[in-house]
Amino acid sequence: MDLQRILEAIFLGFLEGLTEFIPVSSTGHLLLATHFMGFETAGRSFEVLIQLGAILAILSVYFGKLWHVATALPHDPAARRFVLSILLAFLPAVVIGVLAHGFIKNVLFETPLLICITLIVGGVILALVDRLDLKPVHHDAMRYPPGLAFRIGLFQTLAMVPGVSRSGATIVGALLMGCDKRSAAEFSFFLAMPTMAGAFAYDLYKNRDVISIDDAGVIAVGFVAAFVAAVVVVRSLLDFVSHRGFTPFAIWRIVVGTAGLIALWAFG
């Protein structure tokens, strides 16, 4: 690997970790950045595989809670209900992701114009929902009813379109169904673990024959950068949204999407 390639991988990994758990679409940001930088790996494996760093960031921050749930499963109905809720929320993404994997990677991932538009439209929707006078009835992400969790999982499938944002779709869905802002963001953390781990494993399997040694090196560099950035975001996001809501992220999305459209018009 040359120095430029390493620096690009560090930047993109940091971008992944920074944007994965906030409702701005990490995939959209990565695809636009790699498009304009001319950064490519076989099968676009880099963009998916560096998510492992963000997954491990969540595990490290929430290890205590997750360990408590794991050890309580045999005797605690609440722990079993939490696991069931996460699995039900994860299920729609599994079905859609497997059935539409080729279309998502080969068509949607290769359409920067679509990404810019979905960033802007998603930003407008997020801002509108954030301003609604909603009356939340669910305040604990670990106690969401299984039926509610499944419906949030249906919203998550919208994020198969790059630029929509996995966390953004789940958060908007949760807010509209009576969840408060803090628990909606936290539930998106929990749901991210099986969703991202599944995407990582499936993409690694699909690209096992095309990943080169050079690609493995830049993926490793991007993974470390993503881990470091994601730890910082996960530790601070819940307090941020509790006090400021999601409108700052909506503005972020609109600015990035608009800048992307201008850049596409100017440079192609």
Please give, one letter per residue, the 3-state secondary structure of the chain: CCHHHHHHHHHHHHHHHHHCCCCCCHHHHHHHHHHHHCCCCHHHHHHHHCHHHHHHHHHHHCHHHHHHHHHHCCCCHHHHHHHHHHHHHHHHHHHHHHHCHHHHHHCHHHCHHHHHHHHHHHHHHHHHHHHCCCCCCECCHHHCCHHHHHHHHHHHHHHHCCCCCHHHHHHHHHHHCCECHHHHHHHHHHHHHHHHHHHHHHHHHHCCCCCCHHHHHHHHHHHHHHHHHHHHHHHHHHHHHHHHCCHHHHHHHHHHHHHHHHHHHHHC
List Cβ neighbours of 67 (8 Å cut-off, separation of 6 or more).
none
Helix axes 3-19, 213-244, angle to 10 degrees: 30
Mean pLDDT value across the chain: 91
Looking at residue 104, its pLDDT comes to 83
Asked if the model's pLDDT at residue 64 lies above 70, the reply is yes
Note the pLDDT tens digit of each residue in 206-258. Answer: 777 766 666 778 888 999 999 999 999 999 999 999 999 999 999 999 999 99
pLDDT of residue 1: 62
Nearest Cα residue to 20 out of 46, 51, 41: 51
CB–CB of 134/88 below 8 Å?
Answer: no
pLDDT at residue 43 in the model: 62
Computed from CA positions of residues 119, 124, 128, 130, in that sequence, does the dihedral angle turn out positive or negative? Answer: positive
User: Which pLDDT belongs to residue 214?
Assistant: 66
| pLDDT at residue 49, rounded to an integer | 79
Once rounded to an integer, what is the mean pLDDT over residues 105-133? Answer: 91
Dump pLDDT digits (tens) for 23-50: 999 989 988 998 889 887 766 678 777 8
The arithmetic mean of pLDDT across residues 127-151, rounded, is 96
Mean pLDDT of 177-185: 96
* Whether pLDDT at 268 is above 80: no
Q: What pLDDT does 78 receive?
A: 95
pLDDT (average), residues 69-98: 95
Alpha-carbon separation of residue 210 from 12, 104, 109, 141, 206 (angstroms):
21, 18, 18, 39, 9
Percent of the chain predicted with pLDDT > 90: 71
More confident call, 96 vs 110: 96
